[in-house]
Amino acid sequence: MAIPRAAKTQRRTRIQEEKEEQILEAALDVFSVSGFRGSTIDQIAEVAGMSKPNLLYYFRTKEAMHRALIDRVLFTWLEPLRAFNAQGNPESEIRGYIRRKLEMARDFPRESRLFANEVLQGAPHIEDELKGPLKELVDEKAAVIRAWAKAGKIVKCDPYHLIFSIWSTTQHYADFDVQVRAVLGQGQSGEGRFEDAARFLEQLFVDGLSVRTNQPAS
């Protein structure tokens, strides 16, 4: 994980912590709009409301700021998947996962766009994490979904593409929020759009995976 330069000092003060957060908030604003390549330290310093030399005291490079943000996003973004409980009821677990992902799309749109920008650029800063911890976690949860299908609790499906589909449909409401609100129009583009999305996606995924009495599990 990237460590701010000031954090390496022997005594890290409250002011240092606040400055680091101020810088990272500004960097998140800039990176989520312009991506890593299109962003500059000067832009981040301006948004943060501080001089470039002052900013560089806390973070030596643009890469250090980006890395610190990506580390946070990766940890936060995977929490809903980590909470996927093998011992739980499949319907409840899938509903809960959909809702947690939509809550993140609602509450952390900048973080979602930061991650999307990184992946669209070929994931140069997080390739190891994608192929390592992320893959391991998805493999673990894919095994849970397979076990549910084998036990006849849900229909047989490809667990990886199920997870990909939930990712893409829920994160759409963060990455393409402007489009969503424009198409829905004034009457439906308020905060209620996330609840409407949750109900529809629950219907799509939960009903699609439900085992019918006249239908075999596999």
User: In the predicted model, is pLDDT for residue 154 greater than 60?
Assistant: yes
Mean pLDDT is lowest, of 75-79, 113-117, 213-217, for 213-217
CATH of the domain at 34: 1.10.10.60
Region 167-187: mean pLDDT is: 93
User: In the predicted model, is pLDDT for residue 218 greater than 70?
Assistant: no
Residue 218 lies in a domain: no
Alpha-carbon distance of 159 to 149, in angstroms, equals: 10
pLDDT tens digits for range 5-44: 544 545 678 888 999 999 999 999 999 999 999 999 999 9
| The predicted structure's pLDDT at residue 214 | 44
Q: Which two tokens stand for residue 79?
A: 């929490």
Phi and psi at residue 48, to the nearest 5°:
-75, -15
Q: Of 16, 30, 1, which is closest to residue 58 (Cα–Cα)?
A: 16
pLDDT band at 185 (very low <50, low <70, confident <90, very high): very high
112 shares its domain with 188: yes
73 shares its domain with 106: yes
Alpha-carbon distance of 63 to 210, in angstroms, equals: 46
Q: pTM here? A: 0.84
120 shares its domain with 132: yes
Q: Of 118, 126, 115, 210, which is closest to residue 171 (Cα–Cα)?
A: 115
Region 37-54: mean pLDDT is: 96
pLDDT tens digits for range 69-98: 999 998 888 899 998 888 999 999 999 999
110 shares its domain with 186: yes
Domain count, the chain: 2
Question: What is the CB neighbour count within 10 angstroms for residue 139?
Answer: 11
| The predicted structure's pLDDT at residue 84 | 87
- Burial-class residue 19 by CB neighbours within 10 Å (0-12, 13-18, 19+): buried
Residue 216 lies in a domain: no
Domain with 95, as residue range(s), is 68-209
| The predicted structure's pLDDT at residue 106 | 94
Residue 141 lies in a domain: yes
pLDDT band at 176 (very low <50, low <70, confident <90, very high): very high
